[in-house]
Amino acid sequence: MSENVRPETMERITTEALANAFIDEQIAALQAQIGDKKVLLALSGGVDSSVVAALLIKAIGQNLVCVHVNHGLLRKGEPEQVIEVFRNQMNANLVYVDAVDRFLDKLAGVAEPEKKRKIIGAEFIRVFEEEARKQDGIEFLAQGTIYPDILESDGVKAHHNVGGLPEDLQFELVEPLKFLFKDEVRVVGKALGLPDGMVYRQPFPGPGLGVRCLGAITRDRLEAVRESDAILREEFAKNGLEGKVWQYFTAVPDFKSVGVKDGKRTFAFPVIIRAVNTKDAMTATVENVPFELLQHITQRITSEVENVNRVLYDLTPKPSGTIEWE
């Protein structure tokens, strides 16, 4: 157990200089642990896995094999950003897996939230396992475990969903961030040269837009979630709310209502906007978004996003609502 306790002597990483010292120390430790063997990493593009990837690229270069699984539930532009940053800019050995149809086929007709989560998690492991089997000579599995994962959930990084690999694929674990808190991971990520959009991004659940496309996922509503979320993020960034509001996103329920567009009756979906602030995600308050901005975002979503005719703003704190709609 003691190997999972942050050493008391470890200084809190708050500056670039401290981050650089941590990076140098970790590179030496990783090189000593790994030697000339190969390491596999599920790279979601989230802060933790991205920082692990950047660190390992520095330490072992092409011997890190990053697998990015596009399950179709990522936000607009995310797979493209992973490819741009890691393959094009950092010259990583990156395997991109387009598993969109595979996930959406498995999820077709499944409305129950826990079942959806289980399908996404299980399918992720299956895709990752298949990619692992295609690689020769892998001896290590890197994970973006951070200290809160150890403190809160016995070291299980639930949203990385790689805990369930079969017996013959039980690689030795490489977890260079396991004693870091989230703010320290961001400082290290910045020092490693990752873009701000990756380092400071808001939390995003492992099952992704799957928890925001309510009920049974359909492609039309999934696109409505993805496109409306992109508009919301763009407008929050333009209006100084990015980095100020803890988490903001849209959700699309599985019912339609009557509206009117260009003098014609429509029958389409509503989009729900949620924007909340919290310290620990256990309770949350609603951001007081300026009314004019909400009106502008409503105007954009109803005119730019297909199959949508209304926008609603969720005024519910947590409790009684959770942050996600699911």
The phi, psi pair for 212, rounded to 5°, reads -110, -10
Contacts of 222 (CB under 8 A, 6+ apart): 72, 73, 104, 209, 213
Minimum CB distance to ligand XMP smaller for 29 or for 281: 281
Amino acid at 3: E
Min separation Cβ 324 and ligand XMP, Å: 3
Minimum CB distance to ligand XMP smaller for 193 or for 197: 197
Q: Dihedral sign, CA of 141, 146, 151, 157?
A: negative
Min separation Cβ 78 and ligand XMP, Å: 15
The label of the residue with tokens 């496309």 reads: 213
Min separation Cβ 325 and ligand XMP, Å: 8
Contacts of 123 (CB under 8 A, 6+ apart): 71, 99, 102, 103, 106
Residue 132 CB neighbours (<10 A): 21
Min separation Cβ 77 and ligand XMP, Å: 19
Alpha carbons 205 and 45: distance in angstroms, whole number: 12
Minimum CB distance to ligand XMP smaller for 68 or for 116: 116
Minimum CB distance to ligand XMP smaller for 111 or for 281: 281
Min separation Cβ 106 and ligand XMP, Å: 17
Q: Contact positions toward ligand XMP, by CB under 6 A?
A: 158-159, 203, 205-207, 247, 281, 318, 322-324
Minimum CB distance to ligand XMP smaller for 207 or for 270: 207
Min separation Cβ 32 and ligand XMP, Å: 31
Minimum CB distance to ligand XMP smaller for 27 or for 286: 286
Minimum CB distance to ligand XMP smaller for 203 or for 259: 203
Min separation Cβ 98 and ligand XMP, Å: 22
Three-state DSSP string of 111-131: CCHHHHHHHHHHHHHHHHHHH
Alpha carbons 320 and 238: distance in angstroms, whole number: 31
Min separation Cβ 120 and ligand XMP, Å: 9
Q: How far is CA 292 from CA 282, 285, 288, 289, 308, in A?
A: 30, 20, 12, 9, 20
Minimum CB distance to ligand XMP smaller for 45 or for 206: 206
Q: Which residues of 200-226 are buried (b: 16+ CB within 10 A; e: fewer)?
A: ebeebbbbbbbbbbbbebbeebbbbbb
Q: Which two tokens stand for residue 67?
A: 């697998």
The phi, psi pair for 77, rounded to 5°, reads 85, -5
Task: State whether residue 318 is helix, strand or coil.
Answer: strand
